[in-house]
Amino acid sequence: VEIRVADLHIAKPLLLWVNDGLMAIFFFLVGLEIKREVLQGELSTPFAIALPVIAALGGMAAPAAIYAWFNWNDAIAINGWAIPAATDIAFALGVLSLLGSRAPISLKIFLTAVAIIDDLGAILIIAFFYTANLSAQMLTLAAIPAVVIILLNRFSVVRVSAYAVAGLVLWVCVLKSGVHATLAGVLIALAIPLRGENAPLEELEHRLHPWVAFGVLPIFAFFNAGVSFSGTSAAALLEPVPLGIAAGLVVGKTFGVLASSWLTISCRIAKLPDEANWTQMTAVALLCGIGFTMSLFIGSLAFEGAAGDYASATRLGVFAGSLISALAGYAVFRFGTRPKRESA
């Protein structure tokens, strides 16, 4: 698919238009959520932010270490170390919502905060580890729309169309610079006003949610998750790449989130979420292992242009790990806890 406007020429396969274009909208929404939570939400005070931040860091480090242990001797496969470090916030919260009163509101807030910080970590990983062949000229040009967006924020401009025009120019410059274009979505989101009269951030976030949930993510999954399991034996899952991903998501995420949370609470840096117990925290830690769309996205960057069938191996590992995490997390909540009784 090719676009030409005067001297501007962008030609990419449809798959990359989806990954660079539509996923920029997803990361724009993530950026809005991060800004709102940091300024007004559950991440707005040091005491409140301590537990989800440390849990998220542990939940990223442990899966990456497990994957690296399985794939240390493969120079190409080791590039996928960040694949199991991601959490799919939509799917994780979707499973949690099925549990009704068995899941305290405080745990839903905790899971949301961990997943948002996880997304921020994924953004930084993409920026620092999956960006190559930078164009200094295009990065310099990208500074112009970036400054315009900052000025729009400083002068409290609330017209979304102004941010959209400057943001589109920024996206093109970032795309041509070699930095992953989805990062432009985050930068634009951070400039959208949250405070003041007619500030558009919360309304924009509310309007975008259904479009992202029922449009962007299904389209992304359709283009990136297509893998046939016909003729696939159980032995295929025992190959280093899928095994490293699946083990990272199921074992690494659970251990990382749970151990980090226990250490933080034991050191009195934070407290256990209200009305929650360690069985429920274990279930939430398991749900953090649902990587799906975010893991697939990082996998597409890690093995872009790589020889061999790393893409199918990634999908197999992500599907297996995410499914096991979802079922195990649901089962621990469903059969290991009792629903909260309504007071008479």
pLDDT in tens, 219-264: 877 776 665 555 566 677 889 999 999 999 999 999 999 999 999 9
Q: Which two tokens stand for residue 207?
A: 């309007």
Whether the per-residue pLDDT at 186 is higher than 90: the answer is no
Residue 230 lies in a domain: no
Question: Where is average pLDDT lowest: 121-135, 206-220, 221-235?
Answer: 221-235
| pLDDT at residue 53 in the model | 93
For residue 320, what is the domain's CATH number? Answer: 1.20.1530.10
Q: Which residue segment(s) compose the domain that 88 sits in?
A: 2-225+235-336
Residue 99 lies in a domain: yes
Q: What is the mean pLDDT of residues 321-340?
A: 86
The percent of residues in the chain predicted with pLDDT above 70, rounded, is 89
Q: What is the mean pLDDT of residues 103-122?
A: 84
Residue 68 lies in a domain: yes
| pLDDT at residue 339 in the model | 57
Residue 283 lies in a domain: yes
Q: How far apart are CA 249 and CA 323, in angstroms?
A: 10
| pLDDT at residue 288 in the model | 95
Residue 342 lies in a domain: no
| pLDDT at residue 338 in the model | 65
Contacts for 6 with CB less than 8 Å, ≥ 6 apart: none
Q: What is the mean pLDDT of residues 107-113?
A: 86
| pLDDT at residue 10 in the model | 63
Q: What is the mean pLDDT of residues 152-181?
A: 89
| pLDDT at residue 224 in the model | 66
Whether the per-residue pLDDT at 67 is higher than 90: the answer is yes
Residue 213 lies in a domain: yes
Residue 343 lies in a domain: no
Taking only the tens place, the pLDDT of each residue in 273-314 is 888 899 999 999 999 999 888 898 899 889 987 877 888 899
Question: Where is average pLDDT lowest: 77-81, 89-93, 143-147, 227-231?
Answer: 227-231
| pLDDT at residue 344 in the model | 39
Whether the per-residue pLDDT at 90 is higher than 70: the answer is yes
Q: What's the chain's average pLDDT?
A: 85
More confident residue, 123 or 272: 272
Residue 132 lies in a domain: yes
Overall domain count for the chain? 1
